[in-house]
Structures are given as structure tokens and as C-alpha cells.
């Protein structure tokens, strides 16, 4: 923690690259996270807070940029006048059918050796990949662009499933709302978990997601599958996994008889309510087991299992291994949520028994 206090006295500069038709959330998400990150300086009278980062927008040129949604943003500086930065975020604009901006690619190559981190958000992957810095590295890519990126840059190890990944000094993120989780993981990497969690609460983040989370989340899948008859019940279940979720309790919430509820639920989701709840609990347990200080007993209790033994048996039935073995197999997943390249992490496959 002492190192964090010392580091906060000298804010790290975050450079956000602007380009025409940039996705606004890819820019605004990280800007909000880094600009709000502070740490309390106990060495200062009154214990004031110090900013952890200095956020700077960098344009390809000095002209204002128009985002996809029509917001106009004027950069602080252009590439030619940009000072040294600690971390560069490339959230580039139009890419389909176009070559990455040569000026930007050249600038990234020149700056790479003296920049601690270079990150690509969403379509920014095109410009970063064109530098060759991502060759032979794993790169997370928004599912929509995965095939195109793989064909244009065959040396990349394309990951179209997860939210973000760190491979050496290069960081890649699918973009969208994942840019906030990505930025929070960087804050945690720099200043510790507590600073990142306080910031997540300030931003009203539902949960601070790790990089290995799927782009198409379980919660969204359930909502897509939901019929009007069930409305938001699946999402409610996922937010209340520690509650009593028996057929009787759920049918009462849905204002149906237990028998009719079970029949209609299985028709809508292809599994019984009990199977749905067990799978949702085990899916969440896999995330919570990644946090070292969470004991198996505490994970079981927090997810509504009657005992650690019942949890372990359910987990083994659905995942194929015991929770303790699962945790050991993922010991090399970074505590701050960044995932290692795929060949280094072999996560057990899920089977629904």
C-alpha cells in the first residue's frame, strides 16, 4: 500500500487515441474510470485524496473527431505533439473495408518501446495489429470483427469469446461496456484491489468482471430466452442466488402454481427450474473461486448452498472436478482479473449433467 501512496503522488498519464467514427463508450468508459481513480494520502495533512491518473485525448491530427453517435470531441493534442504517456488506449474508428491509419500505426511503433502499456479497445485492434506488436500473441476481439481480423492478421491468436486479455505489454479488450471492466483491472494492477473496488462502487458497476468472462454473458442469454410470461425472472434469479430459490418460491414470484410454473419454465429454457438455478450458482461460483481469499465454505454459503459438501458435489457433477481442484488449475489467473494467453490456462469444460 505504501507503494500505491507514493505512486499516486505522480499521476500516470493515460493517452486515449481519437479517430473519426470512434465508438463513444470505448472512449468515455476508460476516461471516466481513470479520471475518477483517487487514493487517500495519509502522509498529507487532512488526509487529502490524490488523482491516480492524468487523462489526455490524442487526435490523429488537431481536428475535432465525431463519434459514431454524433458527439464531437476535440483532442487535447495531436500525435505530433503528444508527450510521453504511461498507457496508450487505441480505440480507433472505421475499419471495415479500410486500412488502419498509417500515421497512427507509425506512431504506435515508435512509441512502443517507451510506453509501459498499449491497449486496443474494440476496433482499435486493427491499428494495433497492423504494427506487428500483437504477432503471435493472443488478442481479445469483439465477436463481430473476429473473422475479419483473423483473415487480415493471421499471426494473431484471435480470442472472440472473452472480455479482455493481457499478453506481454499488450492489452486487448472487446470494447463496449467491457472497457469499464478492462480499465478497472488496470487500476487494480497499478494501485491494488481495494482502490479498484471503491471506484467500481462509485461508478455503480453491478459486478467487477474478470477478463475471462464471456462476451455473451449467461445473464443476457437467459434474458434473451425469457418469454414475456417470465419477464425478468431469470435476471432476478441471477441477482439473488443466495436466496431461497425452490420451485415453490419461484412459482409464487411468477404468480403460478408450482406444477404449471415447472412445465412452462422447462418449455422456455430447456431445463427444470432446479437445473437452471444449480447451473447459475455453479457459474457464479467459478468466478468467486478465482478470488484467493474466498474460502470454499464462504462461496457455498454466499450462493445459497446448504453446506460446503452439497456445493462440492453439485460443482463436481456439473464441472467434472471438485472446487478445490478447479481453483488449483486456475492458480495462474492473475488476481486483478487479467487472463493469461489461452495455451497457459486450460480451464475445465462444463458439462451439464
Q: Band of the pLDDT at 259, cuts 50, 70, 90?
A: very high
Show me where the domains of the chain are located. 2-202, 218-332
Closest CA to 138 of 119, 156, 153: 156
Average confidence (pLDDT) over 72-83: 94
Q: Band of the pLDDT at 269, cuts 50, 70, 90?
A: confident
Average confidence (pLDDT) over 255-265: 90
Q: Band of the pLDDT at 32, cuts 50, 70, 90?
A: very high
Give CA–CA dist 344/330, Å, rounded.
10
Average confidence (pLDDT) over 220-246: 77
Q: Is the pLDDT of residue 222 over 70?
A: no
Least confident of 5-9, 75-79, 303-307: 5-9
Least confident of 206-215, 293-302, 336-345: 336-345
Least confident of 73-82, 103-112, 229-238, 293-302: 229-238
Closest CA to 95 of 175, 11, 201, 14: 175
Q: Is the pLDDT of residue 45 over 80?
A: no
Residue 221: predicted pLDDT: 67
> Helices H, strands E: what count in the chain?
15, 13
Q: Domain 2-202: which topology? A: Rossmann fold (3.40.50)
Residue with the larger pLDDT of the pair 45 and 218: 218
Q: Is the pLDDT of residue 255 over 90?
A: no
Average confidence (pLDDT) over 63-69: 88
Residue 227: predicted pLDDT: 54
Residue 349: predicted pLDDT: 37
Average confidence (pLDDT) over 188-209: 88
Domain 218-332 belongs to what architecture? Orthogonal Bundle (1.10)
Tell me the longest C-alpha to C-alpha distance in the chain: 69
Residue 208: predicted pLDDT: 79
Q: What angle do CA 81, 87, 93 make, to 5 degrees?
A: 70
What is the grid cell recorded at 348?
Answer: 475445465
Residue 189: predicted pLDDT: 94
Q: What is the Cα Rg of the chain in Å?
A: 22
Q: What is the mean pLDDT of the chain?
A: 84
DSSP state of 81: G
Amino acid at each position: 500500500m505504501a507503494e500505491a501512496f507514493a505512486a499516486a503522488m505522480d499521476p500516470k498519464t493515460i493517452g486515449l487515441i481519437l479517430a473519426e467514427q470512434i465508438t463513444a463508450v470505448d472512449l468515455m468508459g476508460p476516461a471516466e474510470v481513470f479520471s475518477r481513480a483517487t487514493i487517500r494520502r495519509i502522509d498529507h495533512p487532512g488526509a487529502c485524496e490524490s488523482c491516480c491518473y492524468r487523462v489526455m485525448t490524442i487526435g490523429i491530427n488537431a481536428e475535432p473527431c465525431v463519434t459514431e453517435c454524433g458527439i464531437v470531441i476535440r483532442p487535447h493534442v495531436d500525435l505530433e505533439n503528444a508527450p510521453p504517456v504511461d498507457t496508450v488506449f487505441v480505440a480507433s474508428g472505421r475499419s471495415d473495408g479500410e486500412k488502419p491509419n498509417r500515421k497512427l500505426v507509425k506512431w504506435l511503433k515508435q512509441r512502443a518501446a517507451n510506453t509501459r502499456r498499449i491497449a486496443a479497445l474494440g476496433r482499435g485492434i486493427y491499428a494495433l495489429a497492423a504494427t506487428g506488436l500483437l504477432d503471435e500473441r493472443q488478442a481479445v476481439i469483439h465477436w463481430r470483427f473476429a473473422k475479419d481480423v483473423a483473415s487480415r492478421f493471421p499471426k494473431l491468436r484471435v480470442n472472440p469469446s472473452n472480455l479482455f486479455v493481457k499478453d506481454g505489454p499488450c492489452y486487448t479488450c472487446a470494447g463496449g461496456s467491457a472497457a469499464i471492466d478492462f480499465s478497472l483491472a488496470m487500476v487494480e494492477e497499478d494501485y491494488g484491489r481495494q482502490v479498484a473496488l471503491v471506484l467500481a462502487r462509485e461508478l455503480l458497476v453491478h459486478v467487477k468482471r474478470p477478463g475471462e468472462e464471456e462476451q455473451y454473458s449467461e445473464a443476457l442469454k437467459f434474458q434473451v430466452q425469457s418469454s414475456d410470461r417470465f419477464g425478468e425472472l431469470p435476471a432476478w434469479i441471477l441477482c439473488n442466488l443466495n436466496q431461497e430459490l425452490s420451485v415453490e418460491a419461484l412459482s409464487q414470484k411468477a404468480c403460478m402454481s408450482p406444477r404449471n410454473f415447472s412445465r412452462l419454465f422447462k418449455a422456455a429454457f430447456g431445463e427444470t427450474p432446479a437445473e437452471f438455478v444449480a447451473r447459475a450458482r455453479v457459474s457464479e461460483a467459478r468466478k468467486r473461486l478465482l478470488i484467493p481469499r474466498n474460502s470454499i465454505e464462504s462461496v457455498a454459503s454466499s450462493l445459497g448452498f446448504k453446506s460446503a459438501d452439497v456445493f462440492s458435489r453439485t460443482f463436481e457433477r456439473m464441472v467434472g472436478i471438485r472446487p478445490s481442484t478447479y481453483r488449483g488449475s486456475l492458480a495462474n489467473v492473475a488476481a486483478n482479473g487479467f487472463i493469461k494467453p489461452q495455451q497457459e490456462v486450460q480451464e475445465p469444460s462444463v458439462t451439464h449433467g
